């Protein structure tokens, strides 16, 4: 539902009704972690936490955006884009990449809001990027092509913002369907909308820990994977199977660390393929086991969990009705995801928060989430209700 505060703020700032309201969701990755930049498989779903933008097109090249949460306003000229700092770099990066791709852009006046927690591994930045791209599609009147927009948004994040992420988050925010997860091949970008199995809730477990230096650790993992791919003589670790992994030995010239990074990627790709099969067969027990194995691999081989993530996942697995749990997103803090039988979901939420508090001394945010639709234009009526 369109947030009423968004429309009120737009009306008071610009003394007019918005011409459009657009939205783009965050995502939770069910399985397939750190596989996207290794050209492998992922299985994310868009969630009912999103970024909203109310806008009115302008005839000139000025883009003005006020952020409801941050209580700031920022503006830039499409004709003279220069890199700076802060949240406005995401909109600027999107504008830059759209224009470089040949889109003719018009400016807009806008108010932005959202409820995707920042830095929690739920892709708040991809949600901003896709919402801004959607806003430009409205202000400038070009046709929306979800996959093209996801690719441009990733380029903006890599080249303008300077974060070397893969394609998963932008694809999830752009192309997901309500009630479905997205089975995505990150090499070909071929995808399938996979219906979520019946009887199970997807629960997000936010450890409330955040890690500032994710960027450098993330880039380090990337280069270790690239080093391993070179050693195996392939373009990307996607092309390595269990048999090839067996060729490695301590004396082989590839470090033990790089080998373990590779082992995570190879086994994780296999887990995604098995997970989609388990999902299609409604085999929740197997799906949960794959979640658990993924967490262990991310903890021991890829080393991207922290204590809080390990504790919350352990607490989750002890609760009744929990099929499996694992960290989600880049790691180093942020969120885990659990699969819980519908009838246990409410009790799970309460019991988990208490167990986690007791063991870590921290407060978790735990919520059941709904698989949502990718970026789009929202229908709204006067008064701010959709």
9 versus 326: smaller Cβ distance to ligand GLA: 326
Q: Does 36 contact ligand GLA by CB under 6 A?
A: yes
State the helix-helix crossing angle for 307-318 and 345-360, rounded to 10 degrees.
Answer: 140
Sketch the per residue contact string, 279 through 318, with ligand GLA: x for CB under 6 A, - otherwise. Answer: ----------------------------------------
What's the closest the beta carbon of residue 119 comes to ligand GLA, in angstroms?
11
Q: Which is nearer to ligand GLA, 6 or 181 (CB)?
A: 181
Cβ atoms of 334 and 209 closer than 8 Å? yes
Please, what is the minimum distance in Å from the beta carbon of residue 245 to ligand GLA? 20
Q: Which of 369, 339, 260, 352 is nearest to 311 (CA)?
A: 352
Size of the site for ligand GLA (CB under 6 A): 11
Burial of 71: CB neighbours in 10 Å, binned 0-12, 13-18, 19+:
exposed
Q: Cβ 123 to ligand GLA, closest distance in Å?
A: 6
Give the residue with the Cβ less far from ligand GLA, 18 or 166.
166
Residue 268 sits in the site that holds ligand GLA (CB under 6 A): no
β-pair partners for 56: 109
Which helix or strand (DSSP H or E) is residue 269 part of? helix 256-280
Binds ligand GLA by CB under 6 A, chosen from 169, 206, 268, 301: 169
Token pair in block for residue 310: 């390990």
Whether residue 109 lies in the annotated active site:
no
Q: Which helix (H) or strand (E) holds 56?
A: strand 41-57
* 235: number of Cβ within 10 Å: 12
Of 221, 234, 121, the residue nearest 187 (C-alpha): 234
Of the candidate residues 93, 329, 333, 374, the single one contacting ligand GLA (CB under 6 A)? 329
Binding of residue 225 to ligand GLA (CB under 6 A): no
CB within 8 Å of 300: residues ≥ 6 apart: 260
* 206 lies in the binding site for ligand GLA (CB under 6 A): no
- Catalytic site residue from 36, 109, 169, 301: 169
Tell which residue, 145, 106, 148, 89, has the closest CA to residue 20.
106
For position 33 contacting ligand GLA by CB under 6 A, the verdict is yes
Q: Which stretch binds ligand GLA (CB under 6 A): 27-35, 62-70, 310-318, 376-384?
A: 27-35
Fill in the per-residue mask, 149 to 168: x = in contact with ligand GLA (CB under 6 A), - = not in contact.
----------------xx-x
Say if strands 108-114 and 200-206 run parallel, antiparallel, or are unpaired. unpaired
Which of 18, 38, 99, 5 is CA-nearest to residue 269? 38
Is residue 330 near ligand GLA by the rule CB under 6 A?
yes
Catalytically active residues are 169
Contact residues: ligand GLA, CB under 6 A: 29, 33-34, 36-37, 165-166, 168-169, 329-330
């Amino acid at each position: 539902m369109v947030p009423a505060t968004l429309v009120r703020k737009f009306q008071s700032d610009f003394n007019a009704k918005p011409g459009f309201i657009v939205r783009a969701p965050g995502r939770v990755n069910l399985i397939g972690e750190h596989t996207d930049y290794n050209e492998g498989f992922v299985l994310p779903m868009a969630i009912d936490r999103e970024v909203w933008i109310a806008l009115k097109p302008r005839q000139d090249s000025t883009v003005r955006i006020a952020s409801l949460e941050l209580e700031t306003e920022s503006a830039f000229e499409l004709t003279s884009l220069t890199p700076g700092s802060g949240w406005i770099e995401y909109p600027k990066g999107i504008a830059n990449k759209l224009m470089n791709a040949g889109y003719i852009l018009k400016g807009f006046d806008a108010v932005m809001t959202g409820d995707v927690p920042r830095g929690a591994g739920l892709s708040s930045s991809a949600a901003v990027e896709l919402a801004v791209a959607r806003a430009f599609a409205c202000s400038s009147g070009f046709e929306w092509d979800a996959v093209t927009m996801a690719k441009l948004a990733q380029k903006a994040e890599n080249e303008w913002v300077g974060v070397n992420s893969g394609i998963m988050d932008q694809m999830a925010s752009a192309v997901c369907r309500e009630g479905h997860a997205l089975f995505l091949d990150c090499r070909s970008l071929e995808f399938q909308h996979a219906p979520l199995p019946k009887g199970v809730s997807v629960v997000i477990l936010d450890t409330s820990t955040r890690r500032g230096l994710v960027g450098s650790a993330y880039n380090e993992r990337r280069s270790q994977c690239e080093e391993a791919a070179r050693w195996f003589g392939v373009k990307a670790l996607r092309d390595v199977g269990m048999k090839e992994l067996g060729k490695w030995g301590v004396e082989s010239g590839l470090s033990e660390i790089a080998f373990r990074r590779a082992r995570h990627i190879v086994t994780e790709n296999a887990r995604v393929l098995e997970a989609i099969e388990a999902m299609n067969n409604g085999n929740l027990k197997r799906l949960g086991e794959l979640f658990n194995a993924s967490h262990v691999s991310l903890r021991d081989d890829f080393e991207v969990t922290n204590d809080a993530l390990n504790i919350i996942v352990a607490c989750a697995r002890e609760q009744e009705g929990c099929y499996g749990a694992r960290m989600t997103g880049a790691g180093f803090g942020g969120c885990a995801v659990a699969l819980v039988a519908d009838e246990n979901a409410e009790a799970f939420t309460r019991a988990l928060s208490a167990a986690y508090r007791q063991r870590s001394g921290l407060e978790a945010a735990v919520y059941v989430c709904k698989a949502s639709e990718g970026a789009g234009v929202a229908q709204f009526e006067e008064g701010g209700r959709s």
